[in-house]
């Protein structure tokens, strides 16, 4: 049985979930406590996602997706898959923290959205949300400096336009008529921001992006 150890707020975890959902591989989810990560006591890797497949432990989202594809799904690779996967991990994902956590108030609000389905008790949920809202705007600021992001909203729109123009390039999906690995990765990281107004704004500004996103959403889960 496959178990995914994750944070519901984590874009890399959503990348794996989008792949699992699209390829209909059954899996369980364990929500990891951000402080202490005691659920990951079985591994020295203290980042999510972590995948357990019976005795096999796989870490790092891209390695997990490749493991799942090689062992279960067998989606065919498309040209330049690796370049786009690298763009997702090294460029696209960096815009999300500054957009989701620009300040404590917005961060608190958005963390509430991602924790809606949490099975944790109310006290733990509130504590995780409060501490998260105090920590995440600082993390987001560091990310802006590290990746020289000056205007996250505008640069995010530019990144999505790049995806639509050069990635989709007039096709329904990157892989053609059906989604492939890259579609699940792009959709997955973006899915972590669903319901926060960011993607909804992007879909109005860039309708081709909106159509692709909604099509993926229907096939890759909630
Ligand atoms: N390169 C890793 C990145 C994973 C990552 O940064 N996960 C974050 C959550 S989004 C994490 O676990 N942070 C906890 C920490 O650094 O203590 C991957 O693709 O899996």
* Gap from CA of 205 to ligand 1 centroid (Å): 30
pLDDT digit string (tens) for 39-84?
999 999 999 999 999 999 999 999 999 999 999 999 999 999 999 9
**Distance between CA 34 and CA 85 in Å, rounded?**
26
- For 15-39, b/e burial (b = at least 16 CB within 10 A) is bbbbbbbbbeeebebebbeeeebee
In DSSP terms, 4 is beta-bridged to 29, 51
**Res 190: pLDDT:** 98
Q: Whose CA is nearest to atom 12 of ligand 1?
A: 47
Instruction: Outline where 33-180 has alpha helix (H).
Output: 61-68, 81-90, 96-100, 104-114, 122-146, 152-162
**Res 121: pLDDT:** 87
**Res 222: pLDDT:** 64
- Helix 104-114, helix 122-146: angle, nearest 10: 120
* Gap from CA of 154 to ligand 1 centroid (Å): 25
C-beta separation of 107 from 9 below 8 A: no
The list of the chain residues with pLDDT below 50 reads: none
**Res 119: pLDDT:** 82
Q: Whose CA is nearest to atom 16 of ligand 1?
A: 47
Q: Whose CA is nearest to atom 19 of ligand 1?
A: 61
Q: Whose CA is nearest to atom 11 of ligand 1?
A: 47
* Gap from CA of 22 to ligand 1 centroid (Å): 22
What lies within 8 Å, CB to CB, of 138 at 6+ separation is none
What is the number of other CB atoms lying within 10 angstroms of the CB of residue 153? 14
**Distance between CA 37 and CA 40 in Å, rounded?**
6
Listed by start position, the domains of the chain span 2-73
C-beta separation of 64 from 58 below 8 A: yes
- Pairing relation of β-strands 50-53 and 2-6? antiparallel
Q: Please tell me the class of the 2-73 domain.
A: alpha beta
């Amino acid at each position: 049985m496959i178990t995914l150890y994750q944070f519901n707020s984590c874009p890399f975890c959503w990348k794996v979930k989008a792949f699992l959902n699209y390829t209909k591989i059954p899996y369980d989810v364990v929500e990891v406590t951000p402080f202490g990560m005691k659920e990951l006591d079985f591994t020295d890797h203290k980042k999510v996602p972590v995948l357990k497949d019976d005795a096999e432990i796989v870490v790092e989202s891209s390695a997990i997706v490749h493991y799942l594809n090689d062992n279960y799904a067998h989606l065919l690779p498309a040209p330049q898959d690796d370049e786009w996967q690298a763009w997702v991990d090294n460029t696209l994902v960096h815009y999300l923290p500054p957009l989701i956590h620009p300040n404590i108030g917005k961060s608190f609000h958005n963390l509430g959205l991602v924790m809606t389905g949490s099975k944790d008790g109310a006290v733990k949920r509130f504590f995780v949300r409060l501490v998260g809202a105090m920590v995440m705007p600082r993390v987001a600021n560091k990310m802006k400096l590290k990746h020289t992001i000056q205007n996250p909203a505008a640069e995010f729109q530019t990144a999505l336009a790049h995806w639509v123009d050069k990635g989709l390039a007039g096709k329904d999906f990157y892989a053609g008529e059906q989604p492939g690995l890259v579609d699940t990765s792009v959709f997955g990281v973006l899915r972590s921001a669903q319901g926060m107004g960011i993607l909804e704004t992007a879909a109005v500004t860039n309708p081709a992006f909106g159509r692709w996103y909604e099509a993926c959403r229907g096939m890759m889960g909630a």
